[in-house]
A and B are shown apart, each in its own frame.
Chain A
Amino acid sequence: MDPKITEVSQTFERFKAAVVRNDFDACTRLLSQLKVLLTSFTSLPPLFQETSNAIHELTIARDIYEHAVVLSVKMEDQDAFERDFFQLKPYYTDARGRLPASPQEYPILGLNLLRLLVQNRIAEFHTELELLSQSALDNPCIKHAVELEQSFMEGAYHRVLSARQTVPDATYAYFMDLLAKTVRDEIAGCSEKAYDRLSTSDARQILLFSSDKELLQYVEKEHPEWEMKNGFIIFQKVKDSVPCKEIPSLQLITQTLSYARELERIV
């Protein structure tokens, strides 16, 4: 056995032990050590050299990055998640022909989709989605994220929140909590436009609060413009339903002038 590989495996074992202990300081320290050690392996992306230990090295590197991604979720660090995920991705795409598929692949891809959804990066979400095969889309972890996005776009927020109970993996909980917050903001924004007024108890139900107190705190913090009166929330609607009475003269003038200028150019 190559001494470098032995060293990496040993450090990795210690790292895994630290993860189990939830000793995050030790984890991060060991992880950076591991990453430095990995740079000496030439069979890893982007070099992909065909060395005798290539498969072994690739497998262990993939394993390390998978753990790194999961660790970043545990530490609730989204930036670290993104970094580690991008380091991991070549092992799923470019090294597909060299390695047996990892059982962690779909859960992690699903996690990434969820992260993009939480960060409201829908365009990237769809770009990632295009990379997945039909069989991948049928995987429960991926499907979960895809259905969430759909419900989210449609506005079926209750479905989004009830998906919290059916998470395919424990690691998903962190992002689901973040998503719940996004959903609440969305609901608040929609309600403001859709209702004239809501009774406090209804509002509490719609905005998914367990007590009136939480609701009051939320309204004070996020929407101070809402008026609370006699057990009702009255949404301050801008009364702009009256069609535009005054003529937007400045805009009209600039438009007409530009027509004149263009016409002059033609004639």
Chain B
Amino acid sequence: MTQDVEMADQAPPSKSLSSADPSVLPHLKEIASLIETGAYAREVRRISRAVRLTMVLRKKLKASSLGAFLNFVLVPGSDVHSRLSSFLPKEDEHDMEVDSATSGTLASVKHSLPELEIYCYLLVLIFLIDQKKYDEAKACSSASIARLKTVNRRTVDVLASRLYFYYSLCYELTGDLAEIRGNLLSLHRIATLRRDELGQETLLNLLLRNYLHYNLYDHAEKLRSKAPHFEAHSNQQFCRYLFYLGKIRTIQLEYTDAKESLLQAARKAPQAALGFRVQCNKWAIIVRLLLGEIPERTVFMQKGMEKALRPYFELTNAVRIGDLELFKNVAEKFSSTFGSDRTNNLIVRLRHNVIRTGLRNISISYSRISLTDVAKKLRLDSPNPVADAESIVSKAIRDGAIDATLDHANGWMVSKETGDIYSTNEPQIAFNSRIAFCLNMHNEAVRALRFPPNSHKEKESAEKRRERQQQEQELAQHIAEEDDDDF
């Protein structure tokens, strides 16, 4: 440890002459030592913290400080080092020489941990993506994934799940998502075999995203329903999962379930993830409309979303009034927005709801109305509006949307008196569902307060632990040797 501190103290001066932002390097070194302690003590939480801290530094990353960090952590001249440095843009040769000279002697003292190596991959990858160098990013991520497949340590899982994410991201940015599908599937299989639940979670989401990117809802649902399920480890991943699940269910017409997942995703998403929440809300609005509900005005007035949700607001308005003409206009006016949101097909489905709402309004306002007038009011533009109106009304009656009867001989629709709802069981049922909801919430809250099931692992005896750690280290060494042979 003391050596680390020394190095941290020594390195900045040599760096401060050349690098524009000297504050990044010491931070990076701190993170590196955090990862190191985490790796030796097998404490995953330290590594998660390191990843969090990195995200703060993300904006400040520079090629120069990254290069210096690589020199510091990795053995210069090693495979990883030369590969990673080749991704970084070349800078003044003189600086590079000085760096490798100063830190090279120090770094060679210790062997580099797989955790640190993976971390370097992650750092370089993030940097490349931020610099929009997608082709290098793709090469870098593929190299990192190839390396990851050979590392089996629980402390790497956190870093690995981030790497998977960026791996998929840089392929998405260049529009080649289909290429990596097979690879992601095999990674998911590996993660499942290693009981790496965080990795499984991340990879499952990436796969779902991959399928949904190409509208392969069938594939996505098949994978989702067959993949192993467990309690979510990361809130973000869970939100994503819920969102994808909601989308799949919407397409497959399971609106009630879809609504639940989408609303939950929107609620659980962190405040900062505005884009994600907007997407969730867009889908949730459509699903609620398809269910025959009208979302409240407050949904559209959420902070930062008014503009993005505007088309959906107008759409809702058209459905609420039940005006087919207006609905058609809105759909045409915003067709490019709906097209880019890929909700066009769903909006086509809404036409049916518009008619229903219009019909319900008519049925409430008139106790008796001729079918010709119904057709006129619904603005059905078809060659035979009366016959269409008649069959539409009869279907609405059968589906229970309106309470009326038809008189074919006279060609009119007679609405039935709306009975007093309080004389039925309706209020009782509504009351019951609310109580059930509250009780369920209470039970879940109680369950959430319990300790996670694996806390008993702490009781493992000291001796056993030592034994296990030794075994693991041997294994790691073995793997490292194998790697050397490979190269």
Task: Say yes or no: A154 contacts B393, CB within 8 Å.
Answer: no
Q: With a CB–CB cut-off of 8 A, which chain B residues contact A262?
A: 439, 442-443
Q: Interface digits, A163-203 against B, CB 8 Å rule (1 contact, 0 not)?
A: 00000000000000000000000110111111110110010
Given contacts A127-B252, A134-B339, A248-B425, contact A155 B394 (CB under 8 A): yes
**Once the chains bind, are A150 and B382 in contact (CB under 8 Å)?**
no
- Is chain A's interface secondary structure helix, strand, loop, or mixed overall? helix
- The answer, yes or no, to whether A266 is at the interface (CB within 8 Å) is yes
Residues of A within 8 A of B339 (CB): 134
> Which of A124, A150, A194, A244 lies in contact with B351, CB distance below 8 A?
A150
Considering only CB atoms, which chain A residue lies closest to B214 in the complex?
A: A131
Binds A, one of B118-126, B188-196, B405-413: B405-413
Write out, one digit per residue, whether chain B residues 362-402 have a CB within 8 A of any chain A CB (1) or not (0): 00000000000000000010111001100111111110000
Distance between Cα atoms of A265 and B351 in the complex (Å): 48
Find the residue from A154, A192, A262 having the highest chain B CB count within 10 A: A154
Are A190 and B398 within 8 A (Cβ)? yes
The winner among A153, A194, A244 for most chain B CB atoms within 10 A is A194
Please state if A130 and B215 are interface contacts (CB–CB under 8 Å).
yes
Q: Compute how far the CA of A229 lies from the CA of B14 in the bound complex, rounded to whole angstroms.
A: 105
- Verify if A129 is at the interface (C-beta below 8 Å from B): yes
**When chains A and B are docked, how far (Å) is the Cα of A123 from the Cα of B348?**
15
A157 within 8 Å of B (CB atoms)? yes
Q: Is A122 part of the contact surface with B, judged by Cβ < 8 Å?
A: yes
Number of interface residues of B (CB under 8 A): 48
8 A Cβ contacts from B316-364 to A: 339, 344-345, 348-349, 351-352, 355
B305 at the interface (CB under 8 A from A): no
Contacts of B393 in A (CB 8 A): 155, 194
A195 near B425 (CB under 8 angstroms)?
Answer: no
Q: Is A206 an interface residue (CB 8 A)?
A: yes
Q: Are B397 and A194 in contact (CB under 8 A)?
A: yes
**Is A83's beta carbon under 8 Å from chain B?**
no
The reply to whether A126 and B392 form a contact with Cβ atoms under 8 Å apart is no
The smallest C-beta distance from B443 to any residue of chain A, in angstroms, reads 8
Query: Does B175 make an interface contact (CB < 8 A)?
Result: no
CB neighbours (8 Å) of A35 from chain B are: none
**In the complex, are the beta carbons of B392 and A156 less than 8 A apart?**
yes
Residue A243 at the B interface, CB < 8 A? yes
Other-chain residue from B251, B405, B408 in contact with A206 (beta carbon distance below 8 A): B408
Distance, CA A77 to CA B439, complexed state (A) = 52
Contact of B394 with A130 in the complex, beta carbons under 8 Å:
no
A194 engages B398 (CB within 8 Å): yes
Complex CA distance for A243 and B388, rounded to whole angstroms: 32
Name B388's contact: one of A122, A158, A191 (CB within 8 Å). A158
Q: Is B435 an interface residue (CB 8 A)?
A: yes
Chain A, Cβ-Cβ closest to B389 = A156
B134 within 8 A of A: no
| B 414-449 to A, binary, CB cutoff 8 A, 1 in contact else 0 | 001001100111001000100100010011000000
Residues of chain B within 8 A (CB-CB) of A243 are 419-420, 423-424
Q: Is the CB of B218 within 8 A of A127?
A: yes
Contacts of A39 in B (CB 8 A): none
B5 contacts the other chain (CB 8 A):
no
Q: Which residues of B contact A154 (CB under 8 A)?
A: 351-352, 355, 392, 395
Partner of A195, one of B351, B405, B424: B405
Write out the residue numbers on chain B whose beta carbons fall within 8 Å of the beta carbon of A123.
251-254
Q: How far is the CA of A130 from the CA of B254 in the complex (A)?
A: 16
Q: Which A residues lie within 8 Å of B387 (CB)? A: 158
| A259 at interface by CB-CB < 8 Å | yes
> Shortest distance in angstroms between A112's beta carbon and chain B's nearest beta carbon?
13
Contact call B251/A198, Cβ cutoff below 8 A: no
Q: What residues of A have a CB within 8 angstroms of the CB of B395 in the complex? A: 154-155, 186, 190
Closest chain B residue, CB of each to CB of A243: B423
Q: Is B216 an interface residue when CB atoms closer than 8 A count as contact?
A: yes
Nearest CB on B from A86, distance (A): 11
B252 touching A196 by the CB < 8 A rule? no
In the assembled complex, 13 residue pairs joining A and B whose CB atoms fall closer than 8 Å, in A order, are: A122-B253, A126-B345, A150-B351, A153-B349, A154-B355, A158-B391, A159-B382, A192-B398, A194-B397, A199-B408, A243-B424, A244-B423, A255-B432
Q: A156-B388, A159-B382 are in contact. List 13 more A-B contacts (CB 8 A).
A: A127-B251, A131-B215, A154-B355, A155-B394, A156-B382, A190-B391, A194-B393, A196-B407, A202-B408, A241-B419, A243-B424, A259-B435, A262-B439
B residues within 8 Å of A by Cβ? 215-218, 251-254, 339, 344-345, 348-349, 351-352, 355, 380, 382-384, 387-388, 391-398, 404-409, 416, 419-420, 423-425, 428, 432, 435, 439, 442-443
**Nearest 5 CB-CB pairs, A to B?**
A155-B395, A194-B394, A190-B394, A123-B252, A193-B398
Which chain A residues have a beta carbon within 8 Å of chain B's beta carbons? 122-124, 126-127, 129-131, 134, 146, 150, 153-159, 162, 186-187, 189-196, 198-199, 202, 206, 241, 243-244, 248, 252, 255, 259, 262, 265-266
